[in-house]
């Protein structure tokens, strides 16, 4: 019997996020420098007849195995595009918080497409994967490779892969799910309204972590203020992260509520995570490496 295929679904972290405006069709144009963490979910695929999904892990409670599940949606979307697609039984070990701004569901969907591509001999650069990924969700295309890059548009425009220097980080989620729709509603842009200009088309990776940290000081997450209105606890998380010894930058990822703090080295980030986890045992706290 063949062993199941397995892959990691790593957390996506928006190092910055700019809202360029709202299109006339209602979608928001974004621009974000994205990195990926060393923490994530695990997805496996046991090839066989039909399509099914089982769930396990500390964050599986509350997830449904229904038509809204992104693993099943991604599998069915690819199967619709490739009628001869081999499927099977998926098993998801859920470790990332749900509706948390770090692309957990999108990473799971992208992992689904990677596993099905491996099973069916579809090359990782096949345009079909990117096309299907974009149809499933805005963050799914960038999660396909799970490598640092600039993403823009509604997630479909991806810059070249960037070799970012490793960043020592602490990720924190206070246990509050935040709906992206509610955050954009609180942002309050009207259809056709512009917000800010796009950055230069070419973004070079800084040569050092120190330079990257300095560069990030001049950027922001435009969704942080509306997200704090939707979930005020985000403000508490950011304030506590900023006060941790050695914190160089504290910021929210995506539309929240997960926030992150960046440090100069792993000793400082590990100590900060230990301190915060003891102070807030109900919060999800993880020291990790972003790259």
pLDDT, residue 58, reads 96
Q: Which CATH number does the domain housing residue 223 bear? A: 3.30.70.890
pLDDT tens digit string along 63-115?
Answer: 999 999 999 999 999 999 999 999 999 999 999 999 899 999 999 999 999 99
**Could you give the residue numbers annotated as active site?**
12, 139
Q: Do both 153 and 209 map to the same domain?
A: no
Q: Report the pLDDT value the prediction gives residue 248, as an integer from 0 to 100.
A: 97
In this predicted structure, what is the pLDDT of residue 205? Answer: 80
Q: Is 13 in the same domain as 112?
A: yes
The domain boundary, picked from 99, 123, 158, lies at: 158
Query: What residues are paired with 171 via a beta bridge?
Result: 260, 286
Do 24 and 129 lie in one domain? The reply is yes
Question: 198 falls in which pLDDT band (50, 70, 90)?
Answer: confident
Question: pLDDT at position 204, please?
Answer: 75
pLDDT value at residue 196? 75
Q: How confident is the model at residue 178 (pLDDT cuts 50, 70, 90)?
A: very high
Task: Give the containing element (helix H, strand E) for 79.
Answer: helix 70-81
Question: Are both 247 and 144 inside the same structural domain?
Answer: no
Token code pair at residue 244? 């941790």
pLDDT value at 1 more than 70:
no
| 193 and 60 both lie in a single domain | no
Q: What is the mean pLDDT of residues 269-289?
A: 98
Instruction: Pull the structure tokens for residue 68.
Output: 């809204």
CATH number at residue 60: 3.30.230.10
User: Is the domain of 187 the same as that of 282?
Assistant: yes
Same domain, 211 and 67: no
Q: What's the CA gap between 291 and 208, in Å, rounded?
A: 12
How much of the chain is in helix, strand and coil states, percent to nearest 5? 30, 30, 40
Question: What percentage of the chain has pLDDT greater than the value 70?
Answer: 98
**In terms of Cα–Cα distance, which of 239, 162, 156 is closest to 205?**
162
Confidence of residue 199 (pLDDT cuts 50, 70, 90): low
Residues in the chain: 291
Q: Which residues pair with 151 in a beta bridge?
A: 32, 158
In sequence order, what are the residues at sequence separation of 6 or more whose Cβ sits closer than 8 angstroms to the Cβ of residue 242?
A: 250, 261
The predicted structure's pLDDT at residue 4: 87
What's the confidence (pLDDT) of residue 3? 72
205-244 tens-digit pLDDT:
888 999 999 999 999 999 999 999 999 999 999 999 999 9
The verdict on 43 and 94 lying in the same domain is yes
Amino acid 203: pLDDT: 66
Per the structure, the count of domains in the chain is: 2
Same-domain pairing of 111 and 228: no
pLDDT confidence tier of residue 23, bands split at 50, 70 and 90: very high
62 and 185 belong to one structural domain? no
- Would you place residue 2 in the very low, low, confident or very high pLDDT band (cuts 50, 70, 90)? low
Q: Which domain holds residue 51?
A: 5-158
Name the nearest CA neighbour of 126 among 139, 111, 113.
113
């Amino acid at each position: 019997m063949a062993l199941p295929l397995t892959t990691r679904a790593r957390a996506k972290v928006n190092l910055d996020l700019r809202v360029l405006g709202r299109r006339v069709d209602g979608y928001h144009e974004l621009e974000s420098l994205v990195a990926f963490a060393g923490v994530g979910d695990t997805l496996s695929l046991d090839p066989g007849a039909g399509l099914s999904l089982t769930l396990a892990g500390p964050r599986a409670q509350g997830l449904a195995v229904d038509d809204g599940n992104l693993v099943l949606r991604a599998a069915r979307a690819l199967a619709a595009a490739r009628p001869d697609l081999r499927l099977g039984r998926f098993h998801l070990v859920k470790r990332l918080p749900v509706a948390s701004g770090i692309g957990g569901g999108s990473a799971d969907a992208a992992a689904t497409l990677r596993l099905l591509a491996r099973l069916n001999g579809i090359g990782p650069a096949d345009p079909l994967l990117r096309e299907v990924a974009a149809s499933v969700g805005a963050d799914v295309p960038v999660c396909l490779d799970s490598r640092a890059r600039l993403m823009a548009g509604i997630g479909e425009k991806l810059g070249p892969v960037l070799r970012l220097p490793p960043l020592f980080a602490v990720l924190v989620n206070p246990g509050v799910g935040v709906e992206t729709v509610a955050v954009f509603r609180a942002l309050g842009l009207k259809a056709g309204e512009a917000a800010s200009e796009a950055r230069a088309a070419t973004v070079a990776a800084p040569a050092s972590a120190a330079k990257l940290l300095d560069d990030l000081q001049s950027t922001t997450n435009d969704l942080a203020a509306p997200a704090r209105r939707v979930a005020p606890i985000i403000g508490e998380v950011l304030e506590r992260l900023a006060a941790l010894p050695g914190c160089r930058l504290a910021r929210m990822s995506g539309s929240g509520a997960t926030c992150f703090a960046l440090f100069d080295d792993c000793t400082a980030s590990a100590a900060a995570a230990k301190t915060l986890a003891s102070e807030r045992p109900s919060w999800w706290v993880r020291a990790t490496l972003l790259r």
